[in-house]
Structure formats: C-alpha cells, structure tokens
Amino acid sequence: MTLVHEIDYGTPASKAESQVTLTVDGFEVSVPEGTSIMRASMEAGIAIPKLCATDMVDAFGSCRLCLVEIEGRAGTPSSCTTPVAEGMVVKTQTQRLKDIRRGVMELYISDHPLDCLTCAANGDCELQDMAGIVGLRDVRYGYNGGNHVTARNNGGDINMKWMPKDESNPYFTYDPSKCIVCSRCVRACEEVQGTFALTIEGRGFDSRVSPGMHEAFLESECVSCGACVQACPTATLTEKSVIEIGQPEHSVVTTCAYCGVGCSFKAEMRGDELVRMMPYKDGKANRGHSCVKGRFAWGYANHKDRILNPMIRETIDQPWREVSWDEALSFAANRLRGIQEKHGKESIGVITSSRCTNEETFLVQKLARAVFGNNNTDTCARVCHSPTGYGLGQTFGTSAGTQDFDSVEQSDVVMIIGANPTDGHPVFASRLKKRLRQGAQLIVVDPRRIDLVKSAHVKASHHLALRPGTNVAIVTALAHVIVTEGLYDEAFIRERCDWEAFQDYVEFVTDERNSPEAIEGFTGVPADEVRKAARLYANGGNGAIYYGLGVTEHSQGSTAVIGIANLAMLTGNIGKPGVGVNPLRGQNNVQGSCDMGSFPHELPGYRHVKLDEVRSVFEDLWGVTISNEPGLRIPNMLDAAIDGSFKGLYCQGEDILQSDPDTKHVSAGLAAMDCVIVHDLFLNETANYAHVFLPGSTFLEKDGTFTNAERRINMVRKVMAPKNGYADWEVTQLLANAMLKETGRANWSYTHPSQVMDEIAATTPSFAGVTYDLLEEKGSVQWPCNDKAPQGTPVMHVSGFVRGKGRFIRTDYVATDEKTGPRFPLLLTTGRILTQYNVGAQTRRTANVVWHDEDVLEIHPHDAEQRGIKDGDYVKLASRSGETTLRAKITDRVATGVVYTTFHHPETQANVITTDYSDWATNCPEYKVTAVQVSQSNGPTDWQEHYEAFSERARRIEAAE
C-alpha cells in the first residue's frame, strides 16, 4: 500500500470543447481552450515549479516561480495565468528561467525558518520541494535582517513582525512564521468554501494571513472546513493530528459517514492509525472539498466511551454484564424466539440504520423478512424523508432525487425549501454558493433567516419567511401564480405529463383560495414576494429545487413534496442538468437504507410486499415465505408495544429515544418490551432501555457501500480492524444464525459484503448492474444501473418519467392541528447546526463541542422582552408533551412567534417537547411545528433531573470478575 497520489495540475480544468495544440519543451500536447500553460504542461508530463498555484483555486500569479518562455513573446510570463494558444511553443527550462527561479526561492527562504527536520510538514512541504527542484544552494541575504521568523531580533529586542502560533482551532494550527503569503488559503476559503473568513492584511513585507480582523481562528467567521489547511503548501496551516503523529505512509479512498452529501476522502494512515482525512479530488459528490465534520470529527472512533464487548442484562434496572459474543447472541436469539412463541410471529421487529452500509441494511431487513418471518422493519427515514418516498413516487414514479450534485453548476435559479445547507449539507452549500457568486439567483423558503439568505457574496433574491406549518399553502400559491399568469411550460406538460390530471390540477390551483393574496394572512409572507418568486422560478432559466426536512417533517409533509414535484413539472424543470427536485438527505446512507427495503411495506427497490411477483424473487432465493402484509412503522411499533403485542426489537445504529418525537411515548414503548437489542458504538439513550448491547464498528472498520442523496453508490473501505471484533454485517449474520440454529434451516454464510451486493443486484432491477468490480473501476455509480443504463444514471426522467406520464396531484392546504393558543403561544421548529450531527453521538465525542456544546433556544428580541428573558438565560421550554430547560439566544433570525432549537444533546432532549402528530401518508413526525411556551427558569426540569439519574443508573456496567 502507498499513498493515493493525486496530480496537482496547478490550475482548474477548462470546460471548453474546442481543443488547442501547443508544444511544451518539444512535446506536443492538445488541451481544451482556456487551459493554462501550467496545466497543459502537466498534461504533457512536465511539472513546472510553482508555489501559489493549485488546481482547487484559480490562478493568482504571485509566486513568480512558474515563469516560462514563449517563442515570439517577450519576457517570462507566469504559466499559471497565461492561457494556451494554437501553435504556441513553450520552454519551461532555460538558463534565464533557472536563474530567476533560484533568485525567487532565495528570497522566500531568507524569511523562512530552517527547522525542516523538526517541522510537521517535513516530507509534505512544497516550499522544501521547490528549494530542491530549483537547485537552491545558498541564501546570500542571511537571516538577520527584517523577518517574520524569530521572536527577537538579533540584538535581543522584540521582533514586532513575529507572531506566535495560533492554536485556538482544535484541529489545526496557524504558524505565521512559516507563511510565504501565497494566499492559497485565502483563495480556498473564498473560492472553494465560500466563507471569506480569511484575508491578507498589511502590504508588502507586512502582509500576512489574517482570520477575520486579525482574530484568532476560533473567534473568526472560520467554519473549520479545512480547505485552507489542504491548500497550504508549507507548515503554516497544519492538522494537529499530523503534528502529533507524523506524515502518513499509505492511504485508502473511502466515503464519509456523516451527512447525505457523501464526500469521498482519502483516509491517510500510518499503520492502522488514522493520521488525517483528506478530501478526494475525484470524489464526484465533493470534488475535493469537505466540512468540519468529515475532515476532522472522526475522533469518536477511538473515544473512551466506545463499548467493545457485548453485554446483556435480564431487566433494564440491572447493571450491564459483559459476556462473550456467543452468550450475548444466544441470549438475544432465545429471547426473540421465546417472544415469538408466546406472542406470535409479528411480535418482534428491526430498525435498520441509515448510518450503516447498504449491505448491512439489506441484511437487517432480510433478518426480519427471512428469519423473523414478518415485515416489521423500518428505518430512520421514517422520521425524515418518508414523505419524499411517497410524494415523488406518486408524481414521478420513483422517490429518487433527480440530479447529481454537479447539476447545480448549470442552475440559473435555485429554490431552497425547508433546508439549511450551510449547516446540514455544507459541501453542497459550498458548491451552491460558488454558482450563486457566478450569478445564479436564489429563493429561500424558510421560517428562519438561514445563512444563505444573506452571507458573504450571497444574497437571496427572495426570502419567503413563512409561518411553520404553511409550506403547502406557499408551494400551491407559487403554482397558482405560474398557472394563472401563464408561465407554465405547456409543451413539456403535453409531451411528458398526464394531460387530464393537469386539467384537474389547473382547476384546483387557479381557485382564488390558493392565491398569494388569500394565504398572506396565515403564512405571513407578503403576496407580492410570492408572486415575484414564482415568476423568477418559472422564467429564470434552469430552475432547481433543493429541499430538506423543513418540507417533510409536517402533518402535510407528503403533500408538500407533491406540491414541489408539481412546480417542477409545471415549469419543465425535470430531465436535464441544472434543474430538478432534489431532496437533501440527512444521514450518510438514508438513501441507501430506503433503497434496501427497510420500509415495512416495500422489498428492496421500492416494490410493495403485496406483489406476488416481487416476493417470489426473494422467496426463491431465500427459501422462505415472505408475508404479503405491510409491517409496523416505527411509531406503530411503539404503539403496539404499549398495547402489549410488540415485544422485541433489534435496533442497529439508531438512537430512537433521542431522535424520535415525543420522548415519553418512545420510552414507554421501549420499556414495555421484553427484548431490546441495541447494536451501536456507544451506550446511546435507547440503550438505557436495552437488554442486549452488541458493540458496533465504525465506517473506518468495514467494507461496504453508502448511497448519497444523488443516488451515488460510493465505496466504504476498511482501513483498520474492527475494534469490537466484527463488522456490523457480521454481527447481524451471527444473530441470524443464532436464531436459525434450531430451525434446521441453512445458516447465512457471507464472507464479504461484495456477496451481499451481488444478492442485491440479483434481486433488485435498479441495482442489477452494480458490482464491486464496477465500483472499483468507476469510483462510484448512480442507480439505476442496469442493462438500460450500464454506467448508471446521473439525471433521472431524461426521456420520460419513471411512471410513464408525470402526474399532477391536488395539494389542498390543511392547517396542522398543532395550534398556538393562550397556554402555548409560540411555535417551535427544530434543526441542525454545522458542527454537530443528528443525535450527536459521534460529534459530541469530538472537539466539535468547542463550537456547540449545548442546544440553545433562538428567540426573537420581542418575544424575549415580553418574557423578561435576557441573552444566555436558562429558560423553560414547554409544550403539551413535556418540558425542558436550555439557554436562550436572542436573535432576529427567527420571526416573532417562532422559536428554534437543535436536538444534538441528550441533556436537553428537544424531543421531550415535540408531539405525536405526523404526516398523513407516512407517519413522518411533525418535528417542525410544536406549540410551546417559553418562560424564565430556575434550573433543570423534573424530567431532566429524573432522566439524568435514570440514565446514569441504566448505564452501570458490572465490574468484571
């Protein structure tokens, strides 16, 4: 194994189609028009010396090392900023160039420390490389003059130009003494990340990199994405892990296990120790970029809280007892079989994980269907994107998002509805912001003023700040404007959609009750803004809609998704790059877990269990009879548990107690069960109610695939042995075999996840062409991938909708029953923050807590003042479901009457507050609307104190004998 080597071409690729041929040092090379000489030369295999150029950012031309001579042109132009021309003859190595380069390097080195041997970048320093490449042998200027290198001048007085290291960021250091002011970091922050946190302060010899206004990194606007560290050619910006461990010696390409963007990384290793995660340039979702979570927040994999041995207990009031795998598995299998004997086949079920691989998820649903003999399988998509499955399935014929992430580069108008990409899907947000800076326009539909509404060099043309719960009214009003003002694409609709359904829809949508004016009163959005936004989306060129859980997690979540699909069909924004309907998926493999048949009514590939021809495919292969009845969804499982007919649950890599709504209802359901098996890295909140704990493995410890929000199947590769002994797919197999033991049926005998993928391909038409060999060859592939699309499908519905004709469906607005009143006059809505992820089990166990160590309640100054609440006060947040306390943050990002918080911390348990209202079609909970009251508080609520004590007790582990 070696380091995966990626060529740095120095400047970005040109997208021009016409080719230009030139000669570099006598070698002919053809490149797209607009390519730099530097890049063309690299294509020809000749690396021109460079310092300020790197292909992640545009050429800058400041270091003067990459100079070349061009026949017929005067002087020595920089090759990074000079585009190629037909017939150009370039020389990269002449005596004049050699002398100039050596002179430049001599100046650089005269103001740079010479501690190379003990420097963290030793072995990975472009300055060191260039000194060697240009043949620098002497620095005639000495080191005693003005410099940024030493704290004191030669005479012992203080050197005012020197600055100490900034170690404020938990993941990287900034050592100004090593800076060569190439400004690669500044440009990466602007061009790649789009945050504009860095600048060059001062002029001439005083210039230096400055976060914000000469602030420490941690205090500045820096979002710690690490693009600057990646761009830095010296040890000025260095990962603390590299400082601590040293340079990596081999690397493996794998996929991030955080959000649904699914970034590709090189896991850079020394032995089996992870040194750093480096975004992979060939990763088609991220194109070499990352966020603070993916690049830096992997320390949880080694956290002391990780449980590495199986544990069991008779009842949940007992302490845990560490046992062997055999004992834990036979305990679990006996209990589950016992429950089934006593309470029937349908009395147990599974929850598959959206954090585990496709292969693991496939096996967990197979466990339910083939071993338990029922369809009681569900997944966390129940509580996030199940309405997407229903809504897009009904209108387009498949729940799939329609585009790849590259598509945004061709969008002219982007509408973001109920999503906060800069926090939830940061790398996509960076790609979007890049497009917005190029001139695309933005419409934001969100109750909160998210960062995209206005931040550095980004400003939404329209922000429709609606009251939580009124999405359907707004989306329908947008359609009303498009139809009544004749802005729809009739040709597209006639050709591609069901014309009769369209006629019916027109009759519905043109009704005055759906006009922007009619809904203004209860949505709070000025009618004029709605009209302008509709016109912009319909007329602005390629229109793309990206949406998140702010759309789905409502009583009318499915209806809102249908409304969005209607908008795209009305305007013909489907079936080509730059447009589409794009659900931003929450977790790394939530797309995959849905694809793999995690839902209780669907077998893999979204095919209903009632269909005989689908069941028979699996029945023949598995040698079992599969139930043709839909199974229980998560909330139904909990209800059935309380009723006494559901007694056992195998929950892999989910923490339903913290993530699911109405915590008290969830805990009552779990407490009513006789066998709860939690399979996870940590003793999560759900494990407080578990009888069996099976330790899980991290994404670094297993092979498999994740499928991201663009349907892209990415490889996950094992870089270290599982610390708990088994990859998660092996644990599920062990449990299945423990249960099969006395049945006389054959054991499962997978020896590698690729065999599971083969089984998926053999049974599921949209995956028919997927093999590990294909993934190795192509890097990744987007399903459907089969005979019709052997290379996969970047854009869906290109020549027709999956269901045939696109189907318009009426979207009546029905107000949620979760209404404000005198007791609960405010509306609570919940969401995510950049540095934390979901229930926080992983991110809370990393240094990311320096940014967000508790959940806070955002409240408008007006509402705060009425209640006598000051910024930073502890406040009580109460709904009809429960109450908790947390700190208040006074901000006008939320409107009056609306409060907002995150759900990352179990001490707060925001879901104690949320209610059991849910989407009409899918039971996806209505997280985004809860009527609440906020008041001053003296301390934790009774519930918080009780839960903390219970939690501490439930986590006791009996000392080993």
- Taking alpha carbons only, the member of 894, 836, 839 closest to residue 861 is 894
| Minimum CB distance to other proteins smaller for 817 or for 958 | 817
CA–CA dist 54, 184 (Å, integer): 8
| Minimum CB distance to other proteins smaller for 152 or for 608 | 608
| Minimum CB distance to other proteins smaller for 10 or for 882 | 882
| Minimum CB distance to other proteins smaller for 322 or for 346 | 346
| Other Cβ atoms within 10 Å of 55 Cβ, number | 21
Token pair recorded at residue 25 = 């040092």
| Minimum CB distance to other proteins smaller for 235 or for 641 | 641
| Minimum CB distance to other proteins smaller for 631 or for 753 | 631
| Minimum CB distance to other proteins smaller for 365 or for 542 | 365
Query: Do the beta carbons of residue 865 and residue 323 sit within 8 Å?
Result: no
Token pair recorded at residue 659 = 């993530």
Contacts of 33 (CB under 8 A, 6+ apart): 14, 16, 18, 19, 20, 83, 84
- Distances in Å between the Cα of 728 and the Cα atoms of 652, 752, 928 are 9, 12, 32
| Minimum CB distance to other proteins smaller for 376 or for 733 | 376
Q: How far is CA 490 from the centre of its chain?
A: 36
Closest approach of Cβ 640 to other proteins, in Å?
6
Q: What is the 3-state secondary structure (H, E, C) of 240-285?
A: HHHHHHCCCCEEEEEECCCECCCCEEEEEEECCEEEEEEECCCCCC
Query: Do the beta carbons of residue 555 and residue 798 sit within 8 Å?
Result: no
CA–CA dist 244, 545 (Å, integer): 44
Query: Do the beta carbons of residue 808 and residue 505 sit within 8 Å?
Result: yes
CA atoms within 13 Å, Cβ hemisphere of 281: 14
Closest approach of Cβ 644 to other proteins, in Å?
11
Query: Which amino acid belongs to residue 438?
Result: Q
Contacts of 541 (CB under 8 A, 6+ apart): 412, 413, 578
| Minimum CB distance to other proteins smaller for 276 or for 633 | 633
Binding site for other proteins (CB under 8 A): 346, 376, 508, 555-556, 558-559, 600-601, 608, 610, 627, 629-633, 636, 639-640, 643, 645, 810, 812, 814, 916, 918, 920-923
Closest approach of Cβ 810 to other proteins, in Å?
5
- Taking alpha carbons only, the member of 577, 583, 584, 587 closest to residue 564 is 583
Closest approach of Cβ 562 to other proteins, in Å?
9
Closest approach of Cβ 260 to other proteins, in Å?
24
Token pair recorded at residue 533 = 């936004």
Contacts of 363 (CB under 8 A, 6+ apart): 729, 732, 733, 736, 748, 750, 756
Query: Do the beta carbons of residue 591 and residue 392 sit within 8 Å?
Result: no
Closest approach of Cβ 748 to other proteins, in Å?
26
Query: Which amino acid belongs to residue 9?
Result: Y
| Minimum CB distance to other proteins smaller for 341 or for 629 | 629
Closest approach of Cβ 353 to other proteins, in Å?
22
Closest approach of Cβ 812 to other proteins, in Å?
5
| Minimum CB distance to other proteins smaller for 65 or for 560 | 560
Closest approach of Cβ 636 to other proteins, in Å?
6
Phi, psi of 762 (to 5 degrees): -70, -20
Closest approach of Cβ 533 to other proteins, in Å?
25
Closest approach of Cβ 601 to other proteins, in Å?
6
| Other Cβ atoms within 10 Å of 383 Cβ, number | 28
Closest approach of Cβ 648 to other proteins, in Å?
15
Token pair recorded at residue 50 = 């460079």
Query: Do the beta carbons of residue 911 and residue 839 sit within 8 Å?
Result: no
| Minimum CB distance to other proteins smaller for 326 or for 643 | 643
Token pair recorded at residue 572 = 């013909």
| Minimum CB distance to other proteins smaller for 879 or for 922 | 922
Is residue 386 classed exposed, middle or buried when 0-12, 13-18 and 19+ CB atoms within 10 A define those classes? buried
Closest approach of Cβ 392 to other proteins, in Å?
16
| Minimum CB distance to other proteins smaller for 194 or for 631 | 631
Annotate 845-857 with b (16+ C-beta within 10 A) or e (fewer).
bbbbbebbeebbb
| Minimum CB distance to other proteins smaller for 392 or for 574 | 392
CA–CA dist 671, 688 (Å, integer): 9
| Minimum CB distance to other proteins smaller for 572 or for 631 | 631
Closest approach of Cβ 559 to other proteins, in Å?
6
| Minimum CB distance to other proteins smaller for 374 or for 885 | 374
Q: Which residue do the tokens 């991030």 mark?
A: 256
**Between the CA atoms of 175, 180, 186 and 192, what dihedral angle is there, to the nearest 10 degrees?**
-100
Closest approach of Cβ 794 to other proteins, in Å?
31
Closest approach of Cβ 555 to other proteins, in Å?
7
873: alpha, beta or left, given left = phi > 0 and alpha = psi -120 to 50? beta
| Other Cβ atoms within 10 Å of 616 Cβ, number | 11
Maximum separation of any 2 CA atoms in the chain, in Å? 92
Query: Which amino acid belongs to residue 58?
Result: D
Closest approach of Cβ 378 to other proteins, in Å?
11
CA–CA dist 739, 420 (Å, integer): 44
Closest approach of Cβ 387 to other proteins, in Å?
12
Is residue 721 classed exposed, middle or buried when 0-12, 13-18 and 19+ CB atoms within 10 A define those classes? middle
Query: Do the beta carbons of residue 403 and residue 582 sit within 8 Å?
Result: yes
CA–CA dist 876, 857 (Å, integer): 10
| Minimum CB distance to other proteins smaller for 348 or for 756 | 348
